[in-house]
Amino acid sequence: MDAFDPTEPAILHDLLSDRIITWTADQADDYRRASQARDDGTVAWKAYVFDGWGNVLGG
């Protein structure tokens, strides 16, 4: 999750629900303020634990 840029559209995998979350940049500021990197490489934010992401534009 180190390379995830919250200002870009993406799809994120939530480990807790095993669901794909569609990401838009609308919440980038809150993500930067409130997300917490965890020792296992995941990121906790709100009710999510993100463990992977993909660029929706294929980059």
Q: Tell me: the pLDDT tens digits for 7-49?
A: 999 999 999 999 999 999 999 999 999 999 999 999 999 999 9
pTM higher than 0.85, yes or no?
yes
What CA–CA distance (Å, rounded) separates 51 from 15? 6
- Tokens linked to 51: 């463990």
What CA–CA distance (Å, rounded) separates 53 from 55? 7
CB-based contacts of 2: which residues, under 8 Å, 6+ apart? 41
pLDDT for residue 59 is more than 60: no
